[in-house]
A and B are shown apart, each in its own frame.
Chain A
Amino acid sequence: MTLDLNGLLAFWARRWDDILELLGEHLTVVVVALAIAMVIGVGVGMLVWDKPLPRSAVIAAAGVALTIPSLALLALLIPAVGLGWTPTVIALVMYSLLPIVRNTIVGLREVSPAIMESALGMGMTPLTVLLRVQLPMAWPIILTGVRVAAQLTIGVAAIAAYVAGPGLGQFIFQGLSSLGSKNALNFALTGTLGVVLLALVVDAAFVGVTRSTTSRGLRA
């Protein structure tokens, strides 16, 4: 089985609409999962950042979730939630939580005692300090966590085709399951290239998002 470049290009021309659709699905499922994981992760981080025991427990729990092999996690989710988008999103959220929660906690704790004291000393309530001082100052660090989570989930999402999930994984699995057939390599290669390309584009997008949503006073 050797790579036939002309064959690949012809394959792309024929399958262009499918490719775009799968790319779109892949991106969507990742963005949806990241959005959910951000709400949960930042929320939980805000609740536990200053409480040593819950803080360690949350980080440990999120760490454990990350060690479960993705295929196993997806398989375990089938009896509970069936096939398709739902198990995919749940799995991606679980993988995203650790970097997001951990960076939220680190970011909130990194605000110096002097700034905390001047905020309280000016009459901010602890909740105001959290929302108006700590969160904006932690924002670039939190976004870094989301960026790591994005890279992670773009890869994991490719496995989701195993539970009939959306995205480029469908091409990869199709290629693997039809090894030896004419288009097997084209399927697998297209899926893989798509995932890599998506990862690069999303990572570049994060640079822009971070720049435009971080206070100029915090930028180096």
Chain B
Amino acid sequence: MPKQLNTALLQIAGKTSGALIELNNVTKQYPNQPVAAVQNFSMTVQPGELIMFVGPSGCGKTTTMKMINRIIEPTSGSISIDGRDVLSLDPSELRRHIGYVIQQIGLFPHMTIAENIGVVPKLLNWSKDKTADRVHELLTTVGLEPGDFAHRYPKQLSGGQQQRVGVARALAADPPVMLMDEPFGATDPITREKLQAEFLRLQASIGKTIIFVTHDFDEAVRLGDRIAVLSNRSQIEQFDTPANILANPANDYVSSFIGLGTAIKRLVLIPVTAARLGPASAASKGGTTVRTTDSLRDALDSLVLTGLPALAVVDELNKAVGSISVDQISAVLGAEVPILTPTAEA
């Protein structure tokens, strides 16, 4: 038996790009919970695929993902990587061959960046030289100058830099499978977009099998080869390419999930003048105004920022031509339903 296990691990470990992941009827019932967190989840992920799990908070994304590296043990069902049943493998051994990035990053504060990235190579008994070379290579890959960063400590890095190190650390031993739980969660939108772009470029060259959890449908569309839209108990509402999901949402649940984000994005494209403006007298006196050339998104921004019920809309000559409120912005979107027009973004 132990011999067989070792062989199975070697077969996973020997690969550096993509492995096939199969989850079969996987259920997780936490003790003393009325309903299962994950119920009868089945999915096949092809080697080299980047799969996005999206769904509302608490729907079971994290639980589903963590059963793959046995941070959480399933109540029933089976999970295999390249045909090997993960439940029959030693958990610590198994995890050394699955890259893992958690939302909270979890860098070790007492270790330098180089030591953090070298953790798994050390567990795998790599030589010092090989590890050092790999650390150097990975820091370069994630856009951190090795000479500058290798000997810093995590607290000396910004949030976005720490997240890059988190990704580099997970990639260290070149695992065939990566599990990433909102890896870019704690960054501002600009850093996030940059990290996403770099990540896409990286994946194009390394071709890992990746499960990537996110709250953010835009991120899922941007990154995923396929997206699994999940609802409570990790039920798969739709599992398809971003383009197909945008074009043909399987049901109302999926449409509503897509629709919310799209509504806000649509506002960028609609000028303030498309709204039926209220009387100029309705606007609060003085202060912030909105220009006729602004978009509804700008108008909404200003409304939210000022907290005022209505803002004056002024033309190029700074002459008030009317006022705008949230209701009037909503009315524009309402008139346009259905608003979903599949974009070529994916």
Q: Number of residues in A with C-beta < 8 Å to the partner? A: 20
CA distance A136 to B153 in the complex (A): 14
Do the beta carbons of A218 and B106 come within 8 Å of each other? no
| Closest A residue by C-beta to B95 | A123
Do the beta carbons of A115 and B108 come within 8 Å of each other? yes
| Closest A residue by C-beta to B119 | A122
Do the beta carbons of A121 and B95 come within 8 Å of each other? yes
Do the beta carbons of A137 and B71 come within 8 Å of each other? no
Do the beta carbons of B111 and A215 come within 8 Å of each other? yes
> Which of B93, B123, B154, B169 is the most central at the interface, judged by chain A CB atoms within 10 Å of its CB?
B123
Do the beta carbons of A121 and B119 come within 8 Å of each other? no
Q: Does A128 contact B (CB under 8 A)?
A: yes
Do the beta carbons of A123 and B94 come within 8 Å of each other? yes
A155-190 vs B, Cβ < 8 Å mask (1 yes, 0 no): 000000000000000000000000000000000000
A112-131 vs B, Cβ < 8 Å mask (1 yes, 0 no): 10110111111111001000
| Closest B residue by C-beta to A127 | B92
Do the beta carbons of A123 and B123 come within 8 Å of each other? yes
| Closest B residue by C-beta to A125 | B92
| Given A114-B102, A125-B92, A218-B110, residue A120 in contact with residue B71 (CB < 8 A) | yes
| Closest A residue by C-beta to B100 | A121
Contacts of A202 in B (CB 8 A): none
User: Secondary structure at chain B's binding surface: helix, strand, loop or mixed?
Assistant: loop
Q: Does A14 contact B (CB under 8 A)?
A: no
B102 to chain A, nearest CB (A): 5
Q: Does A51 contact B (CB under 8 A)?
A: no
Contacts of B169 in A (CB 8 A): 122
Contacts of B69 in A (CB 8 A): 121
Q: Does B120 contact A (CB under 8 A)?
A: yes
Contacts of A124 in B (CB 8 A): 92, 119, 123
Which of B71, B93, B104, B110 sits near A217, CB closer than 8 Å? B110
Contacts of A137 in B (CB 8 A): 108-110
Contacts of B111 in A (CB 8 A): 215, 217
Which of B94, B95, B104 sits near A114, CB closer than 8 Å? B104
Do the beta carbons of B153 and A121 come within 8 Å of each other? no
Do the beta carbons of A216 and B104 come within 8 Å of each other? no
Contacts of A118 in B (CB 8 A): 100, 102, 105-108
- Give the residues from 210 to 245 in chain B that come closer than 8 angstroms, CB to CB, to chain A: none
Do the beta carbons of A121 and B71 come within 8 Å of each other? yes
Do the beta carbons of B154 and A115 come within 8 Å of each other? no
Do the beta carbons of B123 and A136 come within 8 Å of each other? no
| Given A215-B110, A217-B109, A218-B110, residue A122 in contact with residue B102 (CB < 8 A) | no
Can you list 29 A-B contacts (CB < 8 A)?
Answer: A114-B104, A114-B105, A114-B106, A115-B108, A117-B71, A117-B102, A118-B100, A118-B102, A118-B105, A118-B106, A118-B107, A120-B71, A121-B71, A121-B102, A122-B120, A122-B123, A122-B170, A123-B92, A123-B93, A123-B95, A123-B96, A124-B92, A137-B110, A215-B110, A217-B110, A217-B111, A217-B155, A218-B109, A218-B110
Q: A123-B120, A133-B110 are in contact. List 4 more A-B contacts (CB 8 A).
A: A117-B71, A123-B94, A123-B96, A123-B97
